[in-house]
Structure 1
Amino acid sequence: MMTRHWFKAAPIWETPAISRRVTSVEEALRCLMELWPDEHRASATYEAAIDACEEAISAAGTVEVARDAFVAAADEAGILDDRGAPS
């Protein structure tokens, strides 16, 4: 069984009406790879988030750095749920 790398919930907009609370590095990586808006997949912030998540999973990085990178990428993509409408 694979160990989960938990972190404080990072809410993102999955759709304009549905918010999702991402609570682990593995879930963050899955969101980045499967749910991310196409127009934001080429950014350096997006790539840094993927790298940080992969490093945390392999123990080469930390959960905190992975969460921070994920939140930064979500903010840049306009899908960070700050209780406003997604941009």
Structure 2
Amino acid sequence: MKSRVTGMVLGLVVLTACGASSTAAADTQPNMNPRTGWVVVREDRQVGVSKVCDGSTLIYHAFAYNGNGGLAVIANSPECS
């Protein structure tokens, strides 16, 4: 009986800890700096646009959910300096 209660308490502690960590992860802010990784500029049901820096070059990736899309490149972009 004592081990069953101990197991239930331990399980509750583990679930509480996991819940707290998943809540903290959900509160993180999206990346807004293309120098550190991909930035989502626009995303809705029909189209998405993202950008990222590759050295001093800014790369835009646009895609539509019907399969169309493309890249645009801006050399020596001030955003990537």
Report the TM-score when normalising by structure 2: 0.22
The higher-RCO structure (CA 8 Å, 6+ apart) is 1
Q: Which has the higher helix share?
A: 1
Structure with max Cα Rg: 2
